[in-house]
Structure 1
Amino acid sequence: MGLVKDSASGNDQVLSPGQIEARIANGQSIVIIDQKVLRVDTWLPYHPGGFKPIQHFIGKDATDEFIVMHSAETRRLIDRYKIGRIEGPWNNLVPPIQGGHEDSNWEEKEKKTPPIDGSNSNHIPEEQDLAFLNAQTKKEISLTLDRYPSLDAPTQSNIIERYRLLHEQVHSEGLYECRYTAYLWELGRCGLLFAQMLFFLHIKWYCTSAVFLGWFWSQMVFSAHDAGHMAITHDFFIDNLIGMIIAAPIGGLSLGWWKRTHNVHHLVTNSPEHDPDNQHLPFLAVNHRFLGSLFSTYHERLMPYTALAKRLVPYQAYLYYPILMLGRFNLYVQSWLFLAYGQGPRKGPAWWHRYFEIAGNIVFWAWFGYGIVYRSLPTAGTRILYVLISHAVTMPLHVQFTLSHFAMSTADLGPGESFPQRMLRTTMDVDCPEWLDWVHGGLQFQAIHHLFPRVPRHNLRRVQKLVLTFCRDVGIPYALYGFVGGNQKVVGSLAEVGRQAAILDECRRVVAGRIG
């Protein structure tokens, strides 16, 4: 983990905004945390969560995001990258990965319509497409600005100050402390589901056995999610080991792949160009901007609005649940690609994770693929049915993943928006009685979780009460829907984008007819 030292001066010099912009323009990775100016170029290949989360904060004050995503031990290490400090408030720049440059100035950029096709895309939609999509973008931004607090510096600074006080309260009330007995209960319940799967497999009730296996996988994922955020023991090694054991040998997936995407998702939530959890073409377009083709900064490629997408998206409200029934197969593919291409860190504390997960996936396919599907099931038809049922049963889990974001704001309000406002604007919570918390696995508190990712899920309901008071004090709307109401909102949002896709397609046909 190399230390970047500036040979020209000591690491306590005061750096001006112009000096910092010049360094970024020269290719340096500069992040500001707690008034400290950090140059993190040499840390990028070591970062266990991947390098892209850091890239999204070059030129920005990442204090709040850094604190809530990292342990106290990690936070103590940042001084090794310090090259100076700033005085007074910092006006965030647009990071290069998001299209920023040395002259980044949001006051000028906000006067322009955000680019529909992404800053790095060579794809140019037709003129009539741009007019339609730009109008939708302006409408979305206008409606969003009307509902949320002003983006002026005093308002956002007040929100940040109140959020930091809230964070201190969460700490002081012990809500970061994990109740291990709660996880013993989780382990017992999952063990019972697995035992029931084996019992029904033994008596040849194959479909019933498949249902219990799907339920077992779904419940285990909740604990893997907690471990991936270091919300169980808060120890990097132990929590990652727990998460990888659940993900790979038990689930056939990769925790490393999930962390690589999920960390970006937590930092640029619901951004069409940047959040990989929103990028599902050609099957789903969660926002009208996908209809003009976008460049994904995560995948580093164009996401074209293809002929297949044009056929599927108008009907996506009807296809939403059937597509999610196949969601687990996509997770296999993404995990295999991540491990095969070595897309995770190859240096630093996570260098060995790839090899552990490859071995774990071999174990998974040994017990599930060979032991259950091949050896324990009598016919090819039964095997196919068993695999399809066990995977389709996990569909409610995928609904839970998407429910809290698909219908929320995707507008880009610029780098001046505070972290807490952005998280609450792009995330909804699902209301349910306390006795049903185990069904949702903590994912019903997504807005709370996005504000405090390392809080153990069994404490999220208590944190919710504090966040409700915070939202009332600063005037940020808190989105809370019942499970049925949340699903209706998501399906309605998908239907609206599908309607826009149909209108756009009809406009193209009319224009093509006139030209012809």
Structure 2
Amino acid sequence: MRQSDPTEILSPRYIGALIAEGNSIIIVDQKVLRLDAWIPYHPGGHKTIQHVVGKDATDEFTVFHSDNTRASIHRYQIGRIEGRWENVIPPIQGGIYRRLDDSETCPQPTMEQALKDHPEPEQDEDEITFIDAQTKQEIQLTRSTYPAVDSATQDHIIQRYRELHEQIQTEGLYNCNYIAYAWEFARCVALLSAMLIALRWGWYTTSAICLGMFWSQMVFAAHDAGHMGITHNYTIDTLIGMTIAAPIGGLSLGWWKRTHNVHHIITNAPEHDPDNQHLPVFAVNHRFFTSLPSTYHERTMPYNNLARALVPYQAGLYYIILLFGRFNLYIQSWLFLFHAQGPRKGPAKWHRWYEVLGNIIFWLWFGYGLLYRSLPTPGTRITYLLISHMVTMPLHVQFTLSHFAMSTADLGPLESFAQRMLRTTMDVDCPEWLDWFHGGLQFQAVHHLFPRVPRHNLRRAQRLVIGFCRDVGIPYALYGFVGGNCKVVGSLAEVGRQAAVLEKCRGRVTRDVFTREFTSRK
């Protein structure tokens, strides 16, 4: 490859050849960026970048990064493009690219062809037909509901989305309301004080409830900090988030950012989004019945016997399983820290050790100081542990509420960032006085469009987003809290029904095979 010149116009063919050689190339504001040198330092993890390789990631890059980061991209620029860039499938999603000396007839694969690189367990023909039919029906319904995925339509949406972003900035919605955060801080102090007073008086159930509510409220602030939504300074917000997550909550902000950033880029994609990969307990889409490969976990998600037993009943198990959601967060956090999955270089290299120390402090004050030393009996300790963690269940409901019932279809690389976010995310309607309960998570569609907007400004931004949706013809999903829960449970029930039908088909085939073998032996 020739020496790069930041001012040189590069052809799509040449850029494709660079990607074929393993370079991580993205397009931002007509600039061609090679990010291989930055990937080991990226605080959000390498997979976030991998999912935009070969794409015009201008919108994703703009809404996720601070002014300082956006101003530094010239260091990675190797050229420019002219005109419109046609997005292609990133290599992590199965895209195949040609080197300069490869045959010009080598085709760009479809998503279905790309997934053949990850062999799946052999399936019965009836089973494959059933799943394919469900997938085609889902895609047809999605295409009939949302704007066409063609260049002209999506370019119009992109242009209007960028104008919306300018309006968001003009109206000062990126400016944090620190008075609102003072009230949040006061609420958390009140809950923590109530927990300690109730503990001292021996009101252990009350104390456990207050502790669980305190954790939930603190998670909202950690979420804001993880998106640089408080000070907009990477170091300060990260320190705020890690301090809340580790010594106060026993979790890892680094793990959350690694998974959550991928979730924000490729929302609700069954093969790629770790936030909807919950086998064997949940299958949010029928495609999980095929033991899909996960590009995030880099392994197959087996639809095994345990999944076959649980998924048909997942609607009834939904709230029961989420009662124990916090325990799963502990496990995932420690796995992340133990395997050193975060950045090992650059400005985030010290985060792992800060969080390890923070988690040790958490278990010293909560596990030893509170559970062991402050509670009188083993039964009281277990009860306190379970109540304090189960009280956080509404938080886990909110994590899943905005996505589990939304579209999981793949509409191809031409779909704009804005349309995908609105297609895969719902908002929850509630009166303004209840915003403290939801912590900003009720505005997930708005948040996905503008993740760095502070949560206290999301209600104002919602008005602008509704106008944008009306203008470009994208349905805006808005449900009440009860209605949203009904939609999610109904969606889980439908997938569970499909799983039950599939098991009946599989059982029928097994009986037919057994009958044929038995008859032939006679």
TM-score range, shorter chain: over 0.9
The reply to whether residue 488 of structure 1 matches residue 486 of structure 2 is: yes
- Contact 2:95/2:108, CA 8 A, preserved across alignment: no
For residues 303 and 189 of structure 1, what CA distance do their matches in structure 2 show?
Answer: 41
The reply to whether residue 318 of structure 1 matches residue 319 of structure 2 is: no
2:376 matched to which residue of 1? 378
For residues 297 and 129 of structure 1, what CA distance do their matches in structure 2 show?
Answer: 24
2:219 matched to which residue of 1? 221
- Contact 1:431/1:482, CA 8 A, preserved across alignment: yes
The reply to whether residue 162 of structure 1 matches residue 160 of structure 2 is: yes
1:470 matched to which residue of 2? 468
Q: Quick one: which amino acid aligns to residue 46 of structure 2?
A: F
1:87 matched to which residue of 2? 82
Q: Alpha carbons of 1:118 and 1:339: their partners in 2 closer, same or farther (altered >3 Å)?
A: farther
Q: Quick one: which amino acid aligns to residue 492 of structure 1?
A: G
- Contact 1:252/1:361, CA 8 A, preserved across alignment: yes
Q: How does 1:4-83 map to 2 (within 5 A)?
A: 8-83=3-78
Residues 166-199 of structure 1, C-alpha deviations (whole Å, 9 max, x = no match)? 0000000000000111111101100100111111
Aligned partner of 2:296 among 295, 298, 310: 298
Aligned partner of 1:273 among 244, 257, 271: 271
- Contact 2:94/2:114, CA 8 A, preserved across alignment: no
- Contact 1:116/1:294, CA 8 A, preserved across alignment: no
Aligned partner of 1:97 among 74, 92, 99: 92
Tell me the secondary structure at the aligned position of residue 96 of structure 2.
coil
2:101 matched to which residue of 1? none
For residues 38 and 117 of structure 1, what CA distance do their matches in structure 2 show?
Answer: 27
Tell me the secondary structure at the aligned position of residue 410 of structure 2.
coil
How far is the alpha carbon of 1:129 from its aligned partner?
Answer: 1.8
How far is the alpha carbon of 1:28 from its aligned partner?
Answer: 1.1
Q: Quick one: which amino acid aligns to residue 213 of structure 2?
A: W
Normalized against structure 2, the TM-score is what? Answer: 0.95
For residues 95 and 134 of structure 2, what CA distance do their matches in structure 1 show?
Answer: 23
Tell me whether 75-84 or 124-133 shows the greater mean CA deviation: 124-133
For residues 108 and 79 of structure 2, what CA distance do their matches in structure 1 show?
Answer: 28
Residues 317-372 of structure 1, C-alpha deviations (whole Å, 9 max, x = no match)? 00000000000000000000101110000101101100100111111111100110
For residues 143 and 150 of structure 1, what CA distance do their matches in structure 2 show?
Answer: 12
How far is the alpha carbon of 1:376 from its aligned partner?
Answer: 0.5
For residues 83 and 215 of structure 1, what CA distance do their matches in structure 2 show?
Answer: 50
Q: How does 1:69-468 map to 2 (within 5 A)?
A: 69-102=64-97, 114=112, 119-468=117-466
For residues 159 and 502 of structure 1, what CA distance do their matches in structure 2 show?
Answer: 40
Residues 119-143 of structure 1, C-alpha deviations (whole Å, 9 max, x = no match)? 4244333322211111110000000
For residues 319 and 167 of structure 1, what CA distance do their matches in structure 2 show?
Answer: 40
How far is the alpha carbon of 1:108 from its aligned partner?
Answer: 7.3
Tell me the secondary structure at the aligned position of residue 118 of structure 2.
coil
Q: Alpha carbons of 1:514 and 1:116: their partners in 2 closer, same or farther (altered >3 Å)?
A: farther
For residues 114 and 315 of structure 2, what CA distance do their matches in structure 1 show?
Answer: 23
Tell me the secondary structure at the aligned position of residue 342 of structure 1.
coil
Q: Alpha carbons of 1:245 and 1:167: their partners in 2 closer, same or farther (altered >3 Å)?
A: same
For residues 45 and 500 of structure 1, what CA distance do their matches in structure 2 show?
Answer: 42
Q: What residue ranges of structure 2 are gaps of 5+ in the alignment? A: 99-103, 515-522
For residues 456 and 3 of structure 2, what CA distance do their matches in structure 1 show?
Answer: 50
- Contact 1:121/1:294, CA 8 A, preserved across alignment: no
- Contact 1:129/1:292, CA 8 A, preserved across alignment: no
1:3 matched to which residue of 2? none
Tell me the secondary structure at the aligned position of residue 83 of structure 1.
strand
Q: Alpha carbons of 1:117 and 1:59: their partners in 2 closer, same or farther (altered >3 Å)?
A: closer
How far is the alpha carbon of 1:11 from its aligned partner?
Answer: 1.9
Q: Quick one: which amino acid aligns to residue 405 of structure 2?
A: A
Residues 230-286 of structure 1, C-alpha deviations (whole Å, 9 max, x = no match)? 000000000000000100000000000000000000000000000000000000000
- Contact 1:99/1:120, CA 8 A, preserved across alignment: no
Tell me the secondary structure at the aligned position of residue 212 of structure 2.
helix
For residues 455 and 120 of structure 1, what CA distance do their matches in structure 2 show?
Answer: 38
How far is the alpha carbon of 1:292 from its aligned partner?
Answer: 1.0
Q: Quick one: which amino acid aligns to residue 65 of structure 1?
A: E
For residues 179 and 290 of structure 2, what CA distance do their matches in structure 1 show?
Answer: 50
For residues 122 and 63 of structure 2, what CA distance do their matches in structure 1 show?
Answer: 39
Q: Alpha carbons of 1:116 and 1:133: their partners in 2 closer, same or farther (altered >3 Å)?
A: farther
- Contact 2:120/2:291, CA 8 A, preserved across alignment: no
Residues 70-91 of structure 1, C-alpha deviations (whole Å, 9 max, x = no match)? 0010001111111111000000
Residues 205-245 of structure 1, C-alpha deviations (whole Å, 9 max, x = no match)? 11111111000000100000000000000000000000001
Q: Quick one: which amino acid aligns to residue 18 of structure 2?
A: R
Q: What residue ranges of structure 1 are gaps of 5+ in the alignment? A: 1-5
Residues 273-310 of structure 1, C-alpha deviations (whole Å, 9 max, x = no match)? 00000000000000000011100000000001010000
Tell me the secondary structure at the aligned position of residue 319 of structure 1.
helix
The reply to whether residue 514 of structure 1 matches residue 515 of structure 2 is: no
Tell me the secondary structure at the aligned position of residue 281 of structure 1.
coil
Q: Quick one: which amino acid aligns to residue 65 of structure 2?
A: H
For residues 156 and 150 of structure 2, what CA distance do their matches in structure 1 show?
Answer: 10
Runs of 4+ in 1 over 2 A off after TM superposition: 6-9, 107-110, 113-128
Q: Quick one: which amino acid aligns to residue 475 of structure 1?
A: G
Q: Alpha carbons of 1:334 and 1:427: their partners in 2 closer, same or farther (altered >3 Å)?
A: same
For residues 324 and 97 of structure 2, what CA distance do their matches in structure 1 show?
Answer: 44
How far is the alpha carbon of 1:26 from its aligned partner?
Answer: 1.2
Q: Quick one: which amino acid aligns to residue 347 of structure 1?
A: K
Tell me the secondary structure at the aligned position of residue 114 of structure 1.
helix
For residues 420 and 28 of structure 2, what CA distance do their matches in structure 1 show?
Answer: 18
Residues 361-400 of structure 1, C-alpha deviations (whole Å, 9 max, x = no match)? 1111111001100000111111011100100000000000
For residues 116 and 189 of structure 1, what CA distance do their matches in structure 2 show?
Answer: 50
How far is the alpha carbon of 1:7 from its aligned partner?
Answer: 5.4
- Contact 2:8/2:80, CA 8 A, preserved across alignment: yes
